Structure 1
Amino acid sequence: MLGCVIHGQGDLRVEELPRPVPGPGQALVAVRYGGVCGSDLHYWRHGGVGDFRLREPMLLGHEVVGTVVEYGSPDTPGPAVGTSVAVHPATPCGVCPECADGRRNVCRDTRYLGSAARFPHVQGGFAQFRAVPAEQLRPLPGGLDLRRAALAEPLSVALHAVRRAGPVAGRHVLVTGAGPIGCLVVAAAKAAGADRVTVTDLLPEALRYASVAGADTLVRADDPSDAGWPAEVDVAVEASGVAAGLDTCLRLVRRGGVVVQLGMLPPGQSPFAGNLVVSREIELRGAFRFDTEFDDALALLTAGPSFDGLISAVVPVRAAESAFALAADRARACKVLLDLSDA
C-alpha cells in the first residue's frame, strides 16, 4: 500500500508500505480521504509542531475517513464491514487524573494519530489502509459523504474551542486567523448562537473562506484603519498561532471577557500583554484537541452542506508534496484533502 511518511524537515515521501493486519480489538480501515492539517504542514516545513519534534520517520495524518474492511477478531464490536466511518484520532489512557476528571483530550498518556508528542511516535492515517482500535470508529450519519466527513476532526477542534469559551449565544465573538481551523471556529460559534462573529487575517483570500463559513465582519489584520475593527468583543478565539493574534484578542476583549488560545504558538516563550489579563480580569484559556465533540461535529456536518465550500482541492496521494504545498499557500487554499484511493 502507499503511505505518506515524513522523514525530517522538508523530507516528505510517498512510500510502499506493508498492509497492516488488525489485531484483537482492532479494525482495518481502507482510508479514502485525509485532510492536510496545519500540524502536518509544520512537521513538513519545520520538522516539528510546537514543542513536539520528529525523532523518527512517521506516517502523517489524523483527519481520516474511509470504509471498514475487516476486524482482527470476529467478536470485535464495531460498525459492519463496508460501513463508511470517520476515525477518532485519539486513544486516551482512561486511568490518569485527567481522564478520571472527564478531560480525556489532555490525557497525559494519550496516543494520537500522526503525532510526535511521544516516542516511539504514533503513526498517522495517511495510508491506504490503517489498523485502529475499533472503538475509534464512528459510522457516518445518513446523508453525510466521506468527502465532507473528512472535516470532522478539525471541526471537533473548533467546537471544543468554542465550548472552552463558555456561553456565546447572543454575543460578539472575535476570531483571529482565517485558516481552516479559524473558519471552522466561525461555523462552530454561529452554530452555538453567536450574534456576531468578526474575523481578522492578513490575506483577503483567507477572509473570503471565513465569509463562506458564516463570518459577519471581515477585517484585514494589517490595516488599523479597517472600518470592521470592533471597539470590543465579548469572547475572542486566537486561531492564528502567532503572538500578534493573541495580543489583538487581549486588547479587544471586554473587561472580564474570555480569550481562548487555540492556535499552537511557536516553541519556547511567547510574549503577551499579561498586564491586561490582570487589570481587566480577562480569562485566558487554552483549548487542545477535543473529546466527545467528534460526534457533534459529524452531526453538524450532516446539517451543513455549506461546509463543502471550505474544501479547496482533493489531490491524489501520489502527489502528496504538491498537496502540502497547496495547503501551505493560504492565498490559494483553505482545506486540502489527500485522496488515498490512488484511483
Structure 2
Amino acid sequence: MLGCVIHGAGDLRVAELPAPEPGPGEALVAVRYGGVCGSDLHYWRHGGVGDFRLREPMVLGHEVVGTVVSYGPGATGPGAGTAVAVHPATPCGACPECAGGRAHVCRDTRYLGSAARFPHVQGGFAAHVAVPAGQLRALPDGLGLRRAALTEPLSVALHAVRRAGPVSGGHVLVTGAGPIGCLVVAAAKAAGAARVTVTDLVPEALRYAAVAGADTLVRADDPDDSGWPREVDVAVEASGVAAGLGTCLRLVRRGGVVVQLGMLPPGQSPFAGNLLVSREIELRGAFRFDTEFDEALRLLAARGEFDGLISAVAPVRDAAAAFALAADRERSCKVLLEF
C-alpha cells in the first residue's frame, strides 16, 4: 500500500509500505482522507514540532477518516463498510493525568504520527491503518467522509474554547487564521460568543476566517486597522508566535482569560508577563482534546459551512505538492490527501 513517510527535514517520501493486519483489540480501517496538519508541516520543514524531534522515519498523519475493513481477535465495533473517524490518541489509562480525567495530557499516550515518544507512533497517512477498535467513531447521519476529515482539528478548537471558560455573549479574539484558528472561530460561535475578531498577516487567511463565521477581520501588521478592539473578554492565541501572545495579553480585559493554543517554538518565548500580574489575566494552555471528538462530529454533521474551509484534495501520490500547497497560506486553508 502507499504511505506518506517523513525521513527528516525536507525529506518527505511516498512509498510502498506493508499492509497491516489488525492485532488483538484492533480494527483495520481503509483510509479515505487525511488532513495535512500544521504539525505535519513542521515535521516536513523542520524535522520536528516543538520539542518533539524526528529520530527515525515516521508515517505522518493523525486527521484520518475512512471505512472499517475488519477486526482483530477480541475486537468489536462498527460493522465492515461503516464510515468512521479515527480518534488519534491512545492514553495509558494509568497515570495521574488519566486518573484525574485529563487523558489528553497523559504522560504516556500514543498519538498517531507523533515523534513525542521513541519508537515513534506511526501515523495514518497510508491506504490502511490498524488502530485500537475503541478509537473508531461511526459518522453521524448526514456527515460525509470529506467534511469528517475536519473532526480532529475541530476537536482541538473545541477544547481550546472549553479551556477559556464560558464565552456566551462575550467578545473573543483569535490571533492566527490558519485552519485551527478558523475552527476556533466556529467553535466560539457554536459556544455562543457574540463577537469574534480574528487577526492575521495574510488577507487570504482572513477570508477563510470569515467563512468560519468571524465578525471582524484585522490585519495584524496594521496598527491603524479600524477593526482592532479596545478590549475582549477572551483571547485564543492560535498562531504559535510570541507576537500573537503579546497581542492577546494587551487586548484581553482585566481578569480575562488568554488561551495559548498555537505551539510556540522550542525554548524560551518572551511575553509581557507583567500584564498577567497587573491585570490578573489568566493564561491557560490547551493541548489536543479528549471527549470533544464526539462533539466535533455532531457539529460537523449539523453545519455545512465547514466545507468552505477545505481548499484542496490531492491524491497521496502528489503528497509533496499537497504539503507545499498546505504551507502556502495565500493559497490554502485545509488540504486533504486522498487514499
With the shorter chain as reference, the TM-score category is over 0.9
**Using the alignment, how far apart are the partners of 1:304 and 1:321 within structure 2?**
31
Correspondence 1:163 to 2:174 = no
**Using the alignment, how far apart are the partners of 1:146 and 1:200 within structure 2?**
30
Q: Indicate the residue corresponding to 1:209 in structure 2.
A: 208
Q: Spell out the pairing of 1:185-196 with structure 2 (5 A cutoff).
A: 185-196=184-195
3-state SS of 2:92 partner:
coil
Correspondence 1:30 to 2:30 = yes
Q: Indicate the residue corresponding to 2:219 in structure 1.
A: 220
Superposed CA offset, 1:62-119 (max 9, x none): 000000001112x422110110000000000001000000000000000000000000
Q: Indicate the residue corresponding to 1:259 in structure 2.
A: 258
Q: Indicate the residue corresponding to 1:6 in structure 2.
A: 6
Q: Can you give the 5+ residue segments of structure 2 that lack an aligned partner in the other structure?
A: none
1:339 counterpart letter in structure 2: E
> Aligned-pair distance for 1:206?
0.2
Q: Indicate the residue corresponding to 2:16 in structure 1.
A: 16
3-state SS of 1:141 partner:
coil
Q: Spell out the pairing of 1:310-321 with structure 2 (5 A cutoff).
A: 310-321=309-320
Superposed CA offset, 1:119-138 (max 9, x none): 00000000000000000000
3-state SS of 2:266 partner:
coil
CA RMSD of aligned residues (A): 0.4
> Aligned-pair distance for 1:305?
0.5
Q: Can you give the 5+ residue segments of structure 1 that lack an aligned partner in the other structure?
A: none
Q: Indicate the residue corresponding to 1:41 in structure 2.
A: 41
3-state SS of 2:300 partner:
helix
Q: Indicate the residue corresponding to 1:103 in structure 2.
A: 102
Indicate the percent of aligned positions where both proteins have the same amino acid: 85
Superposed CA offset, 1:271-320 (max 9, x none): 01000001100000000000000000000000010000000000000000
> Aligned-pair distance for 1:161?
0.0
3-state SS of 1:132 partner:
strand
3-state SS of 2:193 partner:
coil
TM-score for the superposition, normalised by structure 2:
1.00
Q: Indicate the residue corresponding to 2:279 in structure 1.
A: 280
**Using the alignment, how far apart are the partners of 2:190 and 2:76 within structure 1?**
33
3-state SS of 1:61 partner:
coil
Q: Indicate the residue corresponding to 1:72 in structure 2.
A: 72
TM-score for the superposition, normalised by structure 1:
0.99
Q: Indicate the residue corresponding to 2:138 in structure 1.
A: 139
2:6 counterpart letter in structure 1: I
**Using the alignment, how far apart are the partners of 2:149 and 2:166 within structure 1?**
27
Ranges of 4+ aligned residues in structure 1 off by more than 4 Å: none
Q: Indicate the residue corresponding to 1:173 in structure 2.
A: 172
**Using the alignment, how far apart are the partners of 1:86 and 1:76 within structure 2?**
17
3-state SS of 2:98 partner:
helix
Q: Indicate the residue corresponding to 1:326 in structure 2.
A: 325
2:32 counterpart letter in structure 1: R
Correspondence 1:243 to 2:237 = no
Q: Spell out the pairing of 1:81-100 with structure 2 (5 A cutoff).
A: 81-100=80-99
3-state SS of 1:28 partner:
strand
3-state SS of 2:159 partner:
helix
3-state SS of 1:290 partner:
coil
1:96 counterpart letter in structure 2: C
Correspondence 1:289 to 2:326 = no
3-state SS of 2:305 partner:
helix
The number of equivalent residue pairs is: 339
**Using the alignment, how far apart are the partners of 2:112 and 2:75 within structure 1?**
21
